[in-house]
Amino acid sequence: MTDIEYLKKYYKGNIDDAIKLLNKNIPVQYIVGEVDFYGNIFKINNNVLIPRFETEQLVEFTIEYINDKFNRNVNILDIGTGSGCIAITLKKNIDCNVDAVDISLEAIKVAKDNAKLNNVDINIFKSDILNNVDNKYDVIISNPPYISYDEEIMDIVKNNEPKTALYASNDGLYFYEEILKKCKRNLNKDFIIAFEIGSTQGKRIKDMALNYLDNIDVYIKKDLNNLDRFVIIVSRWIWRKVK
């Protein structure tokens, strides 16, 4: 579907005004103001990233691992929740309690509006990564900023989506390392950590995980374009308990 076709199908205002915005290189999703993610509607604006299909795959992998390894209600933490699409989708699809954090108050407002829109009860609050998080979790999931500051990206992304949700220091690895080196105190003995990653970052994130966490298996998973796009970390305790 072209952007014009998308506008004609979903935009509820004056189509000529919308086309003018499109011609100014504004993403069609921001013009429409909502997206379909995993079969549900999410409101978005330029305070949050546009949810993408790769993140739907992250959710799908996470649901598969949870259903395979846990036979009970699980406690989940979504770090850098943005629009809330990950947290809300998990809540709607599995038996779980969900906390979702973001450093941006504007993003938190969007996530809370989407939780209400999708009729789910999740706990959304402000935290700089794990700094304000006290609970323990079975699952930590995150699609953090992972673009290096010197990496070239499309102008439509660079000029419209929130930079704090795009870029990270340490070659884009800053948030992964911060999560991995601090998360022990927030993890139960049985745990899964699920990350969306940049396509060249898998090996370094796997090495970080093995450095900071004990008794784990780490899996680098590919997206539909056959690019490394996800890292799944599973405690070996789970493997001993579940076939």
pTM of the model: 0.95
Residues 90, 14 share a domain: no
Indicate the average pLDDT of the chain.
94
Note the pLDDT tens digit of each residue in 138-175: 999 999 999 999 888 999 999 999 999 999 999 999 99
Burial of 116 (0-12, 13-18, 19+ CB in 10 A): exposed
Are the CB atoms for 112 and 105 separated by under 8 Å?
no
Q: What is the DSSP letter of 68?
A: H
CATH number assigned to the domain comprising residue 145: 3.40.50.150
How many domains does the structure of the chain reveal? 2
* Joined tokens for residue 242: 């579940």
Pairing state of beta strands 187-196 and 228-235? antiparallel
Query: How far apart, in whole angstroms, are the C-alpha atoms of residue 111 and residue 41?
Result: 12
Residues 54, 28 share a domain: no
Are the CB atoms for 161 and 140 separated by under 8 Å?
no
Residues 207, 147 share a domain: yes
* Joined tokens for residue 136: 């323990």
Residues 81, 59 share a domain: yes
Note the pLDDT tens digit of each residue in 23-63: 999 999 999 999 999 999 999 999 999 999 999 999 999 99
Query: How far apart, in whole angstroms, are the C-alpha atoms of residue 90 and residue 203?
Result: 27
Residue 41 lies in a domain: no
